[in-house]
Structure 1
Amino acid sequence: MMGERIDLSGIVLPSLPEVVTELVAMIGQEYVHGAQLSRVVSRDPALAGATLKLANSSFFGLAGRVASMQDAVTLIGVNGVRNMLLILGMRNTLRPAAGSFDTHAFWLHALETAAASRALVREHPSMGDEAFLAGLIHDLGKLLIACARPELLERIQSHAWREGCSYAEAECAIGDVNHEEAGLALAEAWRLPDHLSAVLRCHHAPDADAPMLAHAVHVANLIAHVAQGTTGEPGPRLQPSSWQRLSPAESDIERAVLAVRSLRQRSGEWRALLAQT
């Protein structure tokens, strides 16, 4: 699928700010120094300020302890800070019109999926930060459609509500651009690494040979949807190949579920934090 040409039906792909583009280029680098990260973000004071506010939130247990980017790097780590910068930069780039899309619910689900993804790769510590980032960005195609094709978004949501099906099933029934295609187009335009592009293009049904992160996000996405219970859309169907690739221990599943439930219990706090950043 990576080589196929996608008909975006008039969707215009937004460009990332220069600073965020430089942060994307850091993904996958073997070593990024905190000073290098600080120099890059210093050119965007608004992004730096929002990141420090996020770092000082109770989600990291560091309230009032992060006064500078260097503090954030020391207490959270280079990759953790980079992930915060990336997601805030991408969020600022993809902002649907007010009232057309529940962005708070979108980012809460993204955060839940990210937390579950990290829990599922516990046996691979080096993948933890990448799994968290992959979970955060897996549904960016939905945001792109909400920004560029609000009428398509309304048709998809109306069909899903009317038929009691998932968002992805509604997309399939309508037969227009789906959010995985839109996500892949974004990944290519923003030059995301192949393993993250794979997450955006096939997190609902990963290919058997897809990167491990795609399978982790697939299972994490399912866990996050199940945690919504009757208040959310039906979750995706579990792909046996993803379960086989991950081979998660029962303790990993329990840890992922607990991470999602903890975040969902604090959804009001998360909504307030997003409004401030």
Structure 2
Amino acid sequence: MNGLEIIDIIEKSDRLPVMSSEITNIINMISDYDTINIEDLAEKIASCGNLRESLLSNVNSGYFRLARKIESLSDAIVYLGMETVERLIIAYLIKYLIPNEMGRSKELNRGKYWKHCLGTSISATLLAEKIGKKDKYKYFAYGLIHDLGVALLDICVPHIVDEVVIAQQKGIHQIIAERLVMKGATHEQFGQWQCERWGLPEDIKEIVSHHHTPLMAKNYKEEVYILCIADSISSLYYERLLCLNTKYVLNKSVMKQMGITEEDIEEITKVLPMKVEEANKQLNFNLFQQ
């Protein structure tokens, strides 16, 4: 089964997540970055179930280590930055639309896969901090949703995910396994399709589409490069959780362009398991109800 055939199945699936008009309006507002009005955005969020309360609960969880309790969206923007808050909102909404519980693959360990997503978020944040990015938590949000394509496949064509996971268990790298099973396609392609369908911002689409193929990114290259390295660091951690060894490699060209050293990677790798467990206890993405 090739990529086009799989997309045809996904399009016809009654399991495909559907956005409410409220969520669509919020994402459209954030995507139109040049004209966004923070008061209008706050009003939309306040009218979208308990989104405001659940967002603030996570912001105040302790993970973000803020100097004081955040009482409002405006407060969060002051302390985290506008773009970071917007990306956290989108990540939160996508986790609501595609919770782990919707997945149907029998072979994928979703609890451990969620830790890979968290690991990517944390690694991206630490990398951004190392190279002096002020908006480091924006990269945390990217990590949560970079594997949107995997989640989509898990929901709509779980037997495909089963075949990929079984190939990985035999020592085949994830991307190679996907290309073998899906005749050249990978989860990046399906994630990109879903980003376009939902009208997600371009930076998110580039990351979802190219975190395994960073040199093909045309825009937001720095963001894509950071997520590429972060995904690799977290994949090594994830493989250890699953007792796999597919010889996952780091992209040395991207590391060189970003000024990231082997020592940086080693330092993050050492602290990552502890930080993932800590974040997993502090953050809760199941609070939102519409």
* TM-score for the superposition, normalised by structure 1: 0.79
Matched, 1:97 2:102: yes
Question: C-alpha separation between the residues in 2 aligned to 1:99 and 1:138?
Answer: 19
Matched with 2:151 is 143
Change in 2 beyond 3 A, CA 1:103/1:112 = same
- What is the SS of the residue equivalent to 1:57? coil
Question: C-alpha separation between the residues in 1 aligned to 2:258 and 2:69?
Answer: 37
Matched with 2:178 is 171
Question: C-alpha separation between the residues in 1 aligned to 2:280 and 2:17?
Answer: 30
Q: How does 1:71-150 map to 2 (within 5 A)?
A: 71-95=75-99, 96-97=101-102, 100=105, 102-122=109-129, 123=131, 125=133, 128-150=136-158
* TM-score for the superposition, normalised by structure 2: 0.76
Segment of structure 1 superposing worse, 86-95 or 73-82: 73-82
1:207 to 215, 219, 238: 215
Q: How does 1:181-196 map to 2 (within 5 A)?
A: 181-196=189-204
- What is the SS of the residue equivalent to 2:91? helix
CA contact (8 A) 1:37 1:78 kept: no
2:284 to 266, 273, 276: 273
Equivalent AA in structure 2 for residue 121 of structure 1: A
Equivalent AA in structure 2 for residue 97 of structure 1: M
Q: Deviations over 1:219-251 (max 9, x none)?
A: 111111223462145464323331232122567
> In the TM superposition, what is the alpha-carbon distance from 1:252 to its structure 2 partner?
4.7
CA contact (8 A) 2:236 2:248 kept: no
CA contact (8 A) 1:118 1:128 kept: yes
Change in 2 beyond 3 A, CA 1:167/1:82 = same
Structure 1: runs of 5 or more not aligned: none
Aligned length: 271
1:244 to 256, 262, 268: 256
- What is the SS of the residue equivalent to 1:11? helix
Change in 2 beyond 3 A, CA 1:147/1:228 = closer
Matched, 1:197 2:200: no
Question: C-alpha separation between the residues in 2 aligned to 1:64 and 1:130?
Answer: 20
CA contact (8 A) 1:206 1:214 kept: yes
Question: C-alpha separation between the residues in 2 aligned to 1:33 and 1:104?
Answer: 38
- What is the SS of the residue equivalent to 1:10? helix
Q: Higher relative contact order by CA 8 Å / sep ≥ 6: 1 or 2?
A: 2
Identity percentage of aligned residues: 20
Structure 2: runs of 5 or more not aligned: none
Segment of structure 1 superposing worse, 19-28 or 217-226: 19-28
Change in 2 beyond 3 A, CA 1:262/1:36 = farther
Could you list the structure 1 runs, at least 4 aligned residues long, displaced by more than 6 angstroms after superposition. none
Change in 2 beyond 3 A, CA 1:104/1:47 = farther
Segment of structure 1 superposing worse, 13-22 or 145-154: 13-22
- What is the SS of the residue equivalent to 1:273? coil
1:37 to 35, 41, 44: 41
CA RMSD, 1 decimal? 3.3
1:220 to 230, 242, 265: 230
CA contact (8 A) 1:208 1:242 kept: no
Change in 2 beyond 3 A, CA 1:262/1:169 = same
Question: C-alpha separation between the residues in 2 aligned to 1:183 and 1:67?
Answer: 34
